[in-house]
Amino acid sequence: MQTYKAPLRDMKFVLHELMNDAPLPGHEEFTPELVESILEEAGKFCAEQLLPLNASGDLEGCAIENGVVRTPAGFKAAYDAFNEGGWGGLEAAVEFGGQGAPATLAKLVEEMICATNISFGMYPGLTQGAVRALEIHGTDEQKALYLPKMISGQWSGTMCLTEPHCGTDLGLVRTKAVAQADGSYRITGAKIFISAGEHDLSENIIHLVLARLPDAPAGIKGISLFVVPKFLPDADGEAGGGNGVSCAAIEHKLGIKASSTCQMNFDEAQGWLVGQPNRGMQAMFVMMNAARLGVATQGLGIAEAAYQGAVLYAKERLQGRALSGAKYPEKAADPIIVHPDVRRMLLTMRAYVEGSRALGAWVARRLDEANHEPDPARRAEAEEFVALLTPVVKAFFTDAGFECASLAVQTYGGHGYIRDHGMEQLLRDARIAMIYEGTNGVQALDLVGRKMPANFGRSLRRFFHPVAEFIDANKDHPILGRAVGGFGRAFGALQLATFFIAEKALSDAEEAGAAATDYLRLFGLVALGFMWLKMMKLALEKLPDAGADAPFYQAKLSTGRFYLERMLPQVGSLLAVIKAGKGALMEMPEELF
């Protein structure tokens, strides 16, 4: 059976101790007290309402009958309760009925949802992406018509990008949009892999659809974005008559079975342009970037759930004796947590989870600054940081999520492989996060091919400078000095790799492509190392006066040490691999495969 307890202490640590910057402009009402009570409520909701539906939803899955998709038992009630609690609009604008919470807070709530029921999270998650795109690119009329109902959850949303012949390369989109005399468009085409494309949770579904105008230029510059409701709003703005939108089938998948993944047909469906003609990708990128950070959070949520499950079992499961002799002679056997290798697995998970949570919070904080800072220069710097780190956290967190789920299965042994404990579900559910919203390979290409070279590497500065300053300021730290020195060498490896790729890529883009995935991982490892050192420094400062909190800080120090000594050194081999270049990858002729 799956269990979950929201890691509130660590979340508060990250929010209020690690990120103790000045309060965000525009978010002054979110006092630490309010934030803590929201987190507590969210944790309760997720543990009590969403977690119980996770395994059952996986077992039952979604079903389609005559084009109508039925979600698993209990989902509708949970969805209503979710909206009742206002969770769907947590981050959305106040003027349209949202709570206007900062991303820093919302990402932690999202983590809880993903840890307890990632399938359920898909439905409001997709809606939030659509809301964000309409907030930024929609007309006032569109906003007034759609946003309040979507934010309240009465209506839900989707992103319709993928078609049978195009996923990563959206320039190939064929779905057509033909202008009508009344200013609307008729949309015709087939879309696949549409999450939440059809379901029974909301009374209307608002599709954001990429399509091509008849005179559009070929490729990615000829794509426009349209809003296409399942039911056309009537004069009162309520869901009215049907539109030419139908669900032909749902996919049978490895995981997230309670999330309906639909093949959608648009047959002369009525839609309206969002943003400028042929500028759909710009509008879509707003959704995709938000969605990539959302998927990163899914990786983190799964990792947390896996860790909690594994710890529970490692402490309970009695089997054999410790290598140094019995630790619990009174028991029939020692719990398996006494074993170094089991501890390796548990600490790996924990180091990923807490390091990623801290890094995710840093990104979220900068995202909030990008959206709310009054000073345009600071806003731009924050945007550059978020742009740089988005592919890193998407790929690194989701890789870590899958790795942690796998380690959890391993900790359970045979009991992890069977269904009863829910670990195999985590493994299956985690897998998709490495694929959708741009595969992790595409994230790595985005990092080396777009983010790194843009503006002569300006966005790199937003990450590298604070790290270098920290190393410089703490290299003589009485306790952490040596660790900082070791981390400095890892940071040096990242600098070297960056130089290597930047120089090579100038003459040969394939070199950058060959290094991309290893570079992203190297980047992620160093970023986590930075967060760990910051957390350890803080823990050392807090420890003397921590009182009952002392164990929390002790654990931080131990986990941090584990990360720095046993995980971070991977950067050495990654650098060696990167410097090996593309030769070994490209040598073998295609026909020999």
Partner 1 sequence: MAVFNKIAVIGAGTMGAQIAAHCANAGAEVLLLDIVPQGAGNRNALAEGALAKLRKTEPAAFMSDEAVRRVSVGNIEDDLWKLAESDWIVEAIIERLDLKQALYAKIDGVMKDGAVVSSNTSTIPLSALTHGLSERFRRGFCITHFFNPPRYMRLLELVTAPETDAARADDLARFIDVRLGKSVVRAKDSPGFIANRLGVYWLQGAVVEAVKAGLDVEVADALIGRPFGIPKTGVFGLVDLVGLDLMPHINASLAATLPEGDAFHALNVKLPVIETMIAEGYTGRKGKGGFYRRGPNKAREAIDLVSGAYRAVRKPNVAEAKARDLKSIFDGTTPEARYAATVMGRTLAYAASLIPSAAERITDIDEAMKLGYNWALGPFELIDKLGAGWFADWLTREGLAVPPVLDAARGKRFYEVKDGRLFALQDGTLTPVTRPEGVLLLADIKRATRPILKNPSAALWDIGDGVECFEFTSKSNSLDLAIMELLGQAIARKPRGLVIHNEGRNFSVGANLGLAILAANVAAWSEIEKLIKTGQETYKALKYAPFPVVAAPSGMALGGGCEILLHSDAIQAHAELYAGLVEAGVGLIPGWGGCKEMLARYLASPRLPKGPMPAPVKVFEMISTAYVSKSAAQAQKALILRDGDEVTMNRDRLLHDAKQKALKLAEHYTPPAPPIFRLPGDAGATAFEMAVRDFHAKGMATDYDVVVAGELGGILSGGTADPTGEVDEDFVLGLERAAFMRLVKREGTLARIEHMLTTGKPLRN
What residues make contact with partner 1 under the rule CB under 8 A?
455-458, 460-461, 464-465, 467-469, 494-495, 498-499, 502
Backbone φ/ψ region at 193: left (φ over 0), alpha (ψ -120 to 50), beta: left
Tell me the residue type at 469. Answer: E
The burial of 499, by beta-carbon neighbours within 10 Å (0-12 exposed, 13-18 middle, 19 or more buried), is given as exposed
Nearer to partner 1, 80 or 503 (CB): 503
Q: How far is CA 220 from CA 52, 134, 161, 281, 387, in A?
A: 43, 20, 12, 7, 20
Q: What's the min distance (Å) between Cβ of 469 and partner 1?
A: 8
Element (DSSP H or E) covering residue 195: strand 185-195
Q: What's the min distance (Å) between Cβ of 527 and partner 1?
A: 13
Instruction: Give the span between the Cα atoms of 448 and 512, in whole angstroms.
Output: 6
Nearer to partner 1, 347 or 452 (CB): 452
CA angle, corner 541, sides to 536 and 542, nearest 5? 95
Q: What's the min distance (Å) between Cβ of 292 and partner 1?
A: 23
Query: Which pair of structure tokens corresponds to residue 450?
Result: 């777009």
Nearer to partner 1, 456 or 593 (CB): 456
Instruction: Give the span between the Cα atoms of 511 and 505, in whole angstroms.
Output: 6
Look-up: residue for tokens 């342009």?
273
Q: What's the min distance (Å) between Cβ of 512 and partner 1?
A: 14
Instruction: Give the span between the Cα atoms of 104 and 479, in whole angstroms.
Output: 30
Q: What's the min distance (Å) between Cβ of 511 and partner 1?
A: 16
Q: What's the min distance (Å) between Cβ of 523 and partner 1?
A: 11
Nearer to partner 1, 286 or 388 (CB): 388
Q: What's the min distance (Å) between Cβ of 581 and partner 1?
A: 17
Tell me the residue type at 11. Answer: M
Nearer to partner 1, 333 or 502 (CB): 502
Q: What's the min distance (Å) between Cβ of 356 and partner 1?
A: 23
Instruction: Give the span between the Cα atoms of 112 and 314, in whole angstroms.
Output: 22
Strand-strand pairing, 155-160 and 204-212: parallel
Q: How far is CA 22 from CA 15, 31, 384, 542, in A?
A: 12, 12, 20, 20
The burial of 181, by beta-carbon neighbours within 10 Å (0-12 exposed, 13-18 middle, 19 or more buried), is given as exposed
Selecting among 163, 354, 437, 511, the annotated active-site residue is: 437
229 touches 142 (CB < 8 A): no
Nearer to partner 1, 240 or 457 (CB): 457
> Catalytic site residue 437?
yes
Nearer to partner 1, 167 or 453 (CB): 453
Instruction: Give the span between the Cα atoms of 153 and 79, in whole angstroms.
Output: 8
Nearer to partner 1, 431 or 462 (CB): 462
* Among 120, 364, 154, 384, residue whose Cα is nearest residue 259: 120
Catalytic center residues: 437
